[in-house]
Amino acid sequence: MEEQPIIIKRKKKVVGGHHGGSWKVAFADFATAMMAFFLVLWLTATASPEQKRAVEGYFRDPVGFTEGGSPNPVDLEGSASVVQEASPDIESSQIQIEDQVVDELSETLEKRRMEELFQELKERIEQNETLQEFKDQLLIDITDEGLRIQIVDRSGRPMFDSGRAELKYYSQDILFELAKTLGSVDNKLSITGHTDATPFSGRPGYTNWELSADRANTARRALVAGGVRPGQIARVVGLSDSVLFNKEDPTAPVNRRISIIVLNKKTADSIQSSAGRSDEPLIDLTKPTEEEQKAARKRLENGEWRQEKPQPAPGELNW
């Protein structure tokens, strides 16, 4: 009997590949979404209509939302997550600054403005042909009252003719150029006229006091014509030779000058308060007496006021 050959058959088992744990992440996301969904349904079912409107308004405009009765979109009324009073991110506080500190800050800012105006005037003098020609007659400094500009006489180049209050043509040009800058600021201006110590003998009763005041007023008119607002002028003063620039030489031309001060707020307020009406009772010396009133009424009735008064003779005073 012939031997049968032994045949061995091996079957190869094919096993599916490993899928990993990605399905677990997907299932966790699905479970979280479902939990959030059911939580929203529960909150919606228990919320009042006002709370629903508040939630709706918040989601429509999260940044600018201000309406609603509660600082929280949903009030859970007793739940552990309830915030009864929401606090802002930054606590509001009222900062109180003492008056002295405010005054010091104001003075510091004003001083800085004066320094900026000082630099602006220096640049204008360097760039302007008219001011550049007469820059040796311009003296600029900062005082306790503000920024001071002094226009002084130089030998052979005075601002005014001797004993006169009319400006020389170049002095008028200087004031016109300065007015362009001075008219652009909000500060009040003070104008002061000065003379040297040489006595004025042009006409009786007219002294250096009247001359300095007239020259200051002439400078005021020139500044207004050049662009300074009339209401910007706070003070026009004539000081004669009481404040000399060169005390060692009282008759020096530099003593004849016009000072223009851009007043700081403190000085301007002081001028207004000192010249204003006080609460104390005043004695009005200008009020006519009863007899003077009767005499004036009599002249008015008989027509004496129409008669022309004789003109004063040459040399006579007419106050």
Q: List the strands of the sheet with 138-142, edge to edge.
A: 138-142, 146-152, 257-263, 189-194, 233-238
Question: 76: which 2 tokens?
Answer: 């859970």
Cα angle: 171, vertex 174, 179; to 5 degrees: 125
Dihedrals phi, psi of 189, to nearest 5 degrees: -120, 145
Sites in the chain below the pLDDT cut of 50:
69, 71, 73-74, 76, 78-86, 317-319
What domains can be seen in the chain, in order of their start residue?
Answer: 103-274 (3.30.1330.60)
Two tokens, residue 266: 């403190």
Report the C-alpha gap between 43 and 45 in whole angstroms: 5
Beta bridge partners of 157: 154
**Per-residue model confidence (pLDDT) at position 318:** 47
Q: What local confidence, expressed as pLDDT, does residue 10 receive?
A: 67
For residue 319, give the nearest of 215, 204, 221 by alpha carbon.
Answer: 204
Q: How far apart are CA 265 and CA 263, in angstroms?
A: 6
Q: What is the pLDDT of residues 150-205, one digit of tens each?
A: 998 887 788 888 788 888 888 888 999 899 889 888 889 999 999 988 888 877 88
pLDDT of residue 80: 44
| β partners of residue 149 | 140, 260
Beta bridge partners of 146: 263
Other CB atoms within 10 A of residue 294 CB: 11
303: left (phi over 0), alpha (psi -120 to 50) or beta: left
The model's pTM is 0.56
